[in-house]
Structure 1
Amino acid sequence: MAEAVLLAVTKIGSALAEDAHTAIINKLSEKVNNLKELPGKIKQIEMQLKIMSNLIWQIGTVYLTDKVVKSWIGEVRNVAYHVEDVMDRYSYYALQMEEEGFLKKFFIKGTHYVSVFSSIADEVCELENEIQQVIKMKDQWLQHAQIVPNQLVEMERQPSQGWFPEFVKDEDLVGIEDNKRWLKGWLYSEEPNSTVITISGMGGLGKSTLVTNVYEREKVNFPAHAWIVVSQIYSIDALLRNLLRKIGTVGLPTPAGIDKMDGHDLKEEIKKRLQNRKCLIVLDDVWEQQVYFQIQDAFQNLQASRIVITTRKDHVGALASSTHPLELQPLARHDALELFCRRAFYNRCHGLPLAIVTIGSLLSSRPQIETWKHTYNQLQSELSKSDHVRAILNLSYHDLSGDLRNCFLYCSLFPEDCAMSRESLVRMWVAEGFVMGRGKNTPEDVAEGNLIELIHRNMLEAFEYDELGRVNTCKMHDIMRELALSVAKEEKFGSANQYGEMIQMDKDVRRLLLCGWNANTPLKSCKILISMRCQHL
């Protein structure tokens, strides 16, 4: 929910950075009341919005359930959208005067621009009042306990160190035999030294399920073994202590005073216990390479040790040696059908095991065929409401920075299964103001970097490459798109509607996609309209 505030702050900074705009304001201030104070007032608004944005980030809003807090954040969002509109008008007219010649515009259309900037100055005064109202609402209605970090989010991001994925029986697993063979082969390869194996892919593909199935069967062949859940928030010392407790062997009980040991002492004790022993260590749900780099010296010079890492991020997957990365893919159609039929029925989950099981379980409790048809017609909303599915995918969304979140949500406004052009996305993101130049990098460079980052995080899928090896088009997995659409709708960021569903359209959304085609019309010829914010320019 802080993304709207961030975008407004970005646009304020962009407008105030233009020296030409300042010159225009100084000249027009001779005829426009309050205009001279406009930059200072806008700067003050920027500062207040930054504080509000920080507060919202502190609360955490992925699973926000407090209705009072949610309502207040909604009011902050409305103010941010109003600020964005005003700043767009301010920048538009200032740039128009600059490009067409300030003196000409001032003397020929002076009255018009005096009127325009007078209106902008009045709106800034309105914004000041709106912000004060929002501040009063927080002081009046929000208690301290309501604005501390959301505990449900923290629990989701930092599972208990004793947590272990549920073991899934072989008869309940489908389509993983080849991956199991690869993984087992790497565990027992002839390599004498410590070997890193990575299992990567988007949330819900079954990375932990695959590794759990292999780990539970093979750990008996490794005198020292441990499963450590890392997740997004972690402490290196806590990870090392947990590892030391789990690799305790006969004759070497957990050392006294383990809670007082520092990182160096913990690593030395781990080395002592692993010396001359084959070990199997699983680091589950790793989000940053730094995790492994900070503890790897505890595994160095070990005989035939195997470190298995599961991750959603490609750059973490790159920790594996060149022959040991395993990137999971969605299930093939026949495997997905088999898995779904074991629960209920298959059609729309596009190979994502988590989604297949969730919808299958949903339909299994509804025996009548007519009820199934009704459920099928609303699978998108049913799936986006599933706490389990959303919890898995929300972790990926929650880990994004504000500008990446805006770029990600924007992709959901393209039609389902649409191949999105790299060049089009870059231009649209820059035009929306989602990205700004950084150092010597142009906004287009930054936008292209954002696209690659989303692909590396497995939140977008590279679809085609050009002759230089660059991503030419990309797609968004349908289940990931449903998550993005549900968030976009809640945030009033945007809405995607089938042609003919105008009656269901949310009138307050900032962006709208209308897409309509019949069953015999190829996707590329469908009518697409992305309507941006309406502004009274």
Structure 2
Amino acid sequence: MAEAVLLAVTKIGCILGDEVIKAIISELSVKVTNLKELPVKVEQIRKQLTMMSNVIMQIDTVYLIDKGVKNWIGEVRNVAYHVEDVMDKYSYHILKHREQSRLKKILKIKDYAVFSQIADEVVVVEEEIEQVIKLKERWLQPFQLVPDPLTEMERRWSQDSFPEFVKDQDLVGIEENRILLTRWLDTEETENNVITVSGMGGLGKSTLVSNVYEREKIKFPANAWIVVSQIYTVDALLRKILWKIGYTEKPLSAGMDKMDIYDMKKEIEKRLENRKYLIVLDDVWEPEVYFQISDAFPNLQGSRIIITTRKDHVAGISSPTRHLELLPLSNPDAFKLFCRKAFHNMKDHTCPEDLETTATSIVEKCHGLPLAIVTIGSMLSSRQKLDVYKQTYNQLGHELSNNDHVRAILNLSYHDLSDDLRNCFLYCSLFPEDYPMSRDTLVRLWVAEGFVPSKGKNTPEMVAEGNLMELVHRNMLEVVEYDELGRVSLCKMHDIMRELASSVAKEERFASTDDYDTMMDIRRLSSCEWKEDTALKAKLSHLRTVVSVIPSSPDMLSSILSASNYLTVLELQDSEITEVPKSIGSQFNLRYIGLRRTKVKALPDTIEHLSRLHTLDIKQTKIEKLPRGLFKIKKLQHLFADRFVDEKQVEFRYFNGMQAPKELSNLQELQTLETVESSNDLAEQLKKLMQLRSLWIDNISAAECANLFATLSNMPLLSSLLLCARDENEALCFEALQPRSTDLHKLIIRGKWAKGTLNCPIFLKHGTHLKYLALSGCHLVEDPLEMLARHMPNLTYLRLNNMHGASTLALSANSFPNLKTLILRCMHDVSELNISEDALPCVEGLYIISLPKLDKVPQGIESLRSLKKLTLQCLHTDFRSQWDTNGMHQKTLHVPEVRV
């Protein structure tokens, strides 16, 4: 179903039965036909559009080759977009009228003009719908619903086919995995009889398993390879298995065809009795596939079932010790595979010297995906000229996304998505190649777009985060980094998957990434360079979203605002924007403004008119003061704002908070407030902001601690808290900080302590809930590591910065069992660090920076077997020689990155 149609139908449905518009119409002194008939016409539009939507639900443009049908679907989208615009305008003015007139039901002249205009537009929409209905009758004939070759290729995957056997010499980079799979097959254990192999489409799961299967099946008297794919039935699967394991009774009409599911399971169980078996279920999409047929397989010693899948939750069928997750090939293996295909007729498959640089660039752009590497290598095998290679590199994404074989494999993943997941997936294509997308940003953007309404007790944010995790589990997004709670923090989209998403997004008119020739009626635009062009402006009249993640023209924003009236999302972080025009106040539909790291110095007062604004991000801008009108936006949920810090203060703080006006308490739906300056009345204002989940406070004085911390303690939903003192000499007392929220897992404190110990309630009583802790500027006599390890066993991230007092730090056995990152920085009094055996069993990153008195390698550092990243940057001149003398090198520590 086209995303725009869904949105339109939903929004039209919300208008039906609107008592306000009925009251307005009944109060009119002048009988205006268009206005009186508006509810009736809206109902007619809803029914007609629902009918067309039902048709589109059964058709997807990717599955059609008939241009007439595709054109008709395009016309439906145009009407749906028009309806969406009209309905947004209608709902905005209804809301505005409610707020202005409250209990009064008098329609002012200017209101009459607006609603009359809306009614006229509805008449136009009605005519457009009638037109597309006529076009449907003319264009949409049954014989035109012809599946294209791509569809047939996908369907063949779901038939009883077997992947082409690949010779050993054509396999690259899988030897380790092949040995592991073979070892799992060779054992005689009865438990762990299910093996799963997972990874995104195109990684070579079937290729690997088929190679092992062909080698090892002779050891299994009963063996079968079954391709499951997305479309399957239990009885069809059982029939395939029966046939493969030797059911040959004739005639079939008297045997297998007469069996029901129960009979077939019993027959399979009978034929496998005392016969060691190897069954491969290839391309499984849902765990139910296995559970629906598993009772047909007897638990025989040494028998195995191998499942290949693109989904992590299917891979969870097996024991973790029998799950193999395929990863992209390393650069050397990827280049070797490319050469095997591109130069198959040359001795040793050697790449010619004049092609090597360009060939390397082509392979790197494939990001280790064997499907892409083999496809491009085979295509270039007969075209070994430098200019051809350069041309291929420049259009590599297009070549791959339009290759039938590549697209058929990746499309299977896309077409398995629900409508809301498709929207979220396509949205990711707006970001550049290899761009690390933040979980929090994606969640807020998806919510602003309306992709993820609340479900039951789950907020839209919770639903959006669930969608993100679903795309990760389906291997359609790659995880770059996890946060302290084990959640995805940063993710990215594989380039080939992104090309697929971009291609579909353009075809669906969902979004365009800097392609000015296809912008007509595009709802979302990702632009790298803005072209000042009158004709281009005309194409943007219905634009809803602008995402610009790299520098853009300073004139871009003015151009967009003058061209479009329906913007929902304006994400311009890192752009060259210097000023926000006053005309932004006319963007009544705007829900998200992102100006992070821009050169904007002020926000216009007209921002107070953005009554639907949910998110405002002005972090790291040059804005010094928040406009007073901002606090009239009662729907605001996320406010990110801070000021650049003076270079002299960098050691203590990285940013300054914004001054909080008295109207702050008006924002009662606020969930995020980062960062606000403390004041005498801040505690009172915060008492009305009980929806806050993330709160960062700067410039706290000792006198404000008691009231402020008592208020913070009563916040039921608080999960992230930053507290920064006025300066490094201001001593704060934390006795009153006793959080009621068990969700508070992230705590950042900058400043001295009123008492020289860590024995206060936030640590002693709440410590077990904390996962992330960062302390800066504290003056402590005792060793902080010992105390923190005792009271905070669940920490996964710990940063101690600019701490004074303790000369010796010790990490005892079993301390910090869950810690993954430890940062010790600017601890000027520390001269010794000892690490006991079994300390930090899960640590992956250890960063020791600027400890000038530390004159020897930390004792016991070699015991950190899980370590992946180690940084040692100390000021002592003898440290490097001490490091070399102790022989602490990369091989000993098994650390891929060591900095000394």
Structure 2 counterparts to residues 327-342 of structure 1, below 5 A: 327-342=325-340
Greater RCO structure (CA 8 Å; 6+ sep): 1
Q: Distance in 1 between matches of 2:148 and 2:50?
A: 20
Q: Deviations over 1:326-354 (max 9, x none)?
A: 11111111111111122233231111100
Which residue identity lines up with residue 27 of structure 1 in the other structure?
I
Partner of 1:432: 449
Segments of 5+ residues of structure 1 without an aligned counterpart are 518-523
Q: Distance in 2 between matches of 1:226 and 1:360?
A: 32
Structure-2 change in CA distance of 1:75 and 1:402 (3 Å):
same
SS in structure 2 opposite 1:482?
helix
Structure-2 change in CA distance of 1:73 and 1:51 (3 Å):
same
Answer 1 or 2: which has greater strand percent.
Answer: 2
The structure having more radius of gyration, on CA atoms, is: 2
Q: Distance in 2 between matches of 1:419 and 1:254?
A: 60
Shift of 1:161: 3.6
SS in structure 1 opposite 2:218?
helix
Shift of 1:258: 0.5
Partner of 2:232: 234
Q: Distance in 1 between matches of 2:44 and 2:182?
A: 60
1:475 aligns with 2:472: no
Structure-2 change in CA distance of 1:445 and 1:236 (3 Å):
same
Contact 1:204 1:352 in 2 (8 A): yes
SS in structure 1 opposite 2:433?
coil
Which residue identity lines up with residue 6 of structure 2 in the other structure?
L
Partner of 1:30: 27
1:266 aligns with 2:270: no
Q: Deviations over 1:273-308 (max 9, x none)?
A: 001111000001111111111101001433322110
Shift of 1:193: 4.2
Alignment match of 1:526 (pick from 550, 557, 563)? 550
Q: Distance in 2 between matches of 1:95 and 1:185?
A: 67
Structure-2 change in CA distance of 1:382 and 1:154 (3 Å):
closer
Alignment match of 1:512 (pick from 525, 528, 536)? 525
Shift of 1:85: 1.4
Output the TM-score relative to the length of structure 1.
0.90
Which residue identity lines up with residue 45 of structure 2 in the other structure?
I
Partner of 2:320: 322
Partner of 2:10: 10
SS in structure 2 opposite 1:527?
coil
Partner of 1:288: 286
Partner of 1:421: 438
Q: Distance in 2 between matches of 1:310 and 1:453?
A: 18
Shift of 1:39: 3.5
Q: Distance in 2 between matches of 1:141 and 1:261?
A: 45
Contact 1:61 1:150 in 2 (8 A): no
Structure-2 change in CA distance of 1:38 and 1:525 (3 Å):
closer
SS in structure 2 opposite 1:234?
coil
Partner of 2:134: 136
Alignment match of 1:389 (pick from 399, 406, 414)? 406
Partner of 1:41: 41
Shift of 1:137: 0.9
Q: Distance in 1 between matches of 2:393 and 2:152?
A: 34
Contact 1:28 1:114 in 2 (8 A): no
Which residue identity lines up with residue 91 of structure 2 in the other structure?
S
Contact 1:205 1:329 in 2 (8 A): yes
Shift of 1:435: 1.8
Q: Distance in 2 between matches of 1:425 and 1:39?
A: 36
Structure 2 counterparts to residues 92-491 of structure 1, below 5 A: 92-100=92-100, 102=102, 110-147=108-145, 153=151, 156-157=154-155, 159=157, 161-193=159-191, 195-248=193-246, 256-344=254-342, 345=359, 346-491=363-508
SS in structure 2 opposite 1:347?
helix
How many equivalent residue pairs? 521
SS in structure 2 opposite 1:515?
coil
Contact 1:413 1:494 in 2 (8 A): yes
Q: Deviations over 1:444-476 (max 9, x none)?
A: 222121111111111112222221112222111
Q: Deviations over 1:382-403 (max 9, x none)?
A: 1111111111111111111111
Contact 1:199 1:310 in 2 (8 A): yes
Partner of 1:521: none
Structure-2 change in CA distance of 1:294 and 1:379 (3 Å):
same
Structure-2 change in CA distance of 1:176 and 1:526 (3 Å):
same
Partner of 1:520: none
Q: Distance in 2 between matches of 1:210 and 1:136?
A: 53
Contact 1:198 1:317 in 2 (8 A): yes
Contact 1:459 1:476 in 2 (8 A): yes
Q: Distance in 2 between matches of 1:100 and 1:430?
A: 27
Structure-2 change in CA distance of 1:179 and 1:258 (3 Å):
same
Which residue identity lines up with residue 261 of structure 1 in the other structure?
M
Contact 2:150 2:404 in 1 (8 A): no
Shift of 1:429: 1.2
Contact 2:63 2:147 in 1 (8 A): no
Q: Distance in 1 between matches of 2:266 and 2:173?
A: 41
SS in structure 2 opposite 1:74?
helix
Q: Distance in 1 between matches of 2:117 and 2:101?
A: 22
Shift of 1:155: 6.0
Segments of 5+ residues of structure 2 without an aligned counterpart are 343-358, 531-547, 567-587, 589-900
Structure-2 change in CA distance of 1:157 and 1:527 (3 Å):
farther
SS in structure 2 opposite 1:34?
helix
Which residue identity lines up with residue 373 of structure 2 in the other structure?
I
Partner of 1:495: 512
Shift of 1:37: 3.7
Contact 1:158 1:230 in 2 (8 A): no
Q: Percent identity?
A: 65
Q: Distance in 1 between matches of 2:488 and 2:228?
A: 31
RMSD between superposed Cα atoms in Å: 2.7
Contact 1:163 1:229 in 2 (8 A): yes
Contact 2:7 2:84 in 1 (8 A): yes
Q: Distance in 1 between matches of 2:298 and 2:15?
A: 53
Partner of 2:892: none
Deviates more, 1:305-314 or 1:145-154: 145-154
Q: Distance in 1 between matches of 2:174 and 2:14?
A: 50
Which residue identity lines up with residue 487 of structure 2 in the other structure?
R
Contact 2:397 2:495 in 1 (8 A): no
Partner of 2:91: 91
SS in structure 2 opposite 1:474?
strand
Partner of 2:596: none
Structure-2 change in CA distance of 1:194 and 1:295 (3 Å):
farther
Q: Deviations over 1:236-293 (max 9, x none)?
A: 10110110010017x9889752012100000000000001111000001111111111
Structure-2 change in CA distance of 1:29 and 1:440 (3 Å):
farther
SS in structure 2 opposite 1:441?
coil
Q: Deviations over 1:84-111 (max 9, x none)?
A: 111221222223333455358x76x822
Shift of 1:25: 4.5
Which residue identity lines up with residue 455 of structure 1 in the other structure?
V
Shift of 1:157: 4.0
Shift of 1:227: 0.4
Q: Distance in 1 between matches of 2:85 and 2:435?
A: 29
Q: Deviations over 1:396-438 (max 9, x none)?
A: 1111111111111111001111111112111111111212122
Deviates more, 1:343-352 or 1:41-50: 41-50
Contact 1:158 1:234 in 2 (8 A): no
Structure-2 change in CA distance of 1:264 and 1:82 (3 Å):
same
Which residue identity lines up with residue 425 of structure 2 in the other structure?
F
Which residue identity lines up with residue 527 of structure 1 in the other structure?
P
Q: Distance in 2 between matches of 1:74 and 1:266?
A: 48
Answer 1 or 2: which has greater helix percent.
Answer: 1
Partner of 1:61: 61
Which residue identity lines up with residue 114 of structure 2 in the other structure?
V
Q: Distance in 2 between matches of 1:29 and 1:391?
A: 57
Partner of 1:72: 72
Structure-2 change in CA distance of 1:495 and 1:66 (3 Å):
same
Which residue identity lines up with residue 77 of structure 2 in the other structure?
R
Shift of 1:160: 5.8
